[in-house]
């Protein structure tokens, strides 16, 4: 089971504490204790079983979001998430770690993130 509270470093290497504020069924939400009601920073974890009976998979999603009010008074929200979908077939466990490593290594390169932001494929 995930810990109720997390301390995670942001892009400036400043630690942020995300405390559990909601948990029900297959979903939990955590709130950055340094954020405000008008500008919350959140972490959400969800789990689902998806797909047809012959090809069932477990889908896990971890997302982080930051909402804020822009200069026009409109609420804006930016999100970053990871979805891990693993077939229930036992073979999938043999290569899932490689797929996760590819994602981690891709995200570790700032130029890749910049290219994605520019809409490059």
Run of H or E residues at 103: helix 93-107
Q: What percent of the chain has pLDDT over 70?
A: 100
Can you tell me whether residue 77 is helix, strand or coil?
A: strand
| pLDDT tens digits for range 110-119 | 999 999 999 9
Q: What is the DSSP letter of 118?
A: T
The answer to whether the beta carbons of residues 6 and 30 sit under 8 Å apart is yes
Q: pTM for the complete prediction?
A: 0.88
Q: 49 — alpha (psi -120 to 50), left (phi > 0) or beta?
A: beta
Strand-pairing partners, residue 85, are 59
- Residue 31 near residue 21 (C-beta atoms within 8 A): yes
Instruction: Read off the pLDDT of residues 18-74 as tens digits, 9 standing for 90 and up.
Output: 999 999 999 999 999 999 999 999 999 999 999 999 899 999 999 999 999 999 999
Question: What pLDDT, on a 0 to 100 scale, did the predictor assign at position 5?
Answer: 96
* pLDDT given at position 90: 86
């Amino acid at each position: 089971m995930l810990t109720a509270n997390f301390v995670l470093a942001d892009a400036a290497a400043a630690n942020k504490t995300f405390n559990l504020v909601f948990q029900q069924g297959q979903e939990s939400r955590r709130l950055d204790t340094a954020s405000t009601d008008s500008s919350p920073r959140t972490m959400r974890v969800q789990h689902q079983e998806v797909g047809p009976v012959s090809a069932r998979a477990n889908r896990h999603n971890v997302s982080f979001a930051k909402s804020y009010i822009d200069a026009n008074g409109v609420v804006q929200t930016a999100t970053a998430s990871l979805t891990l979908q693993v077939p229930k077939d036992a073979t999938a466990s043999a290569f899932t770690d490689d797929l996760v490593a590819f994602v981690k290594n891709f995200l570790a390169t700032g130029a890749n993130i910049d290219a994605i932001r520019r809409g490059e494929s």
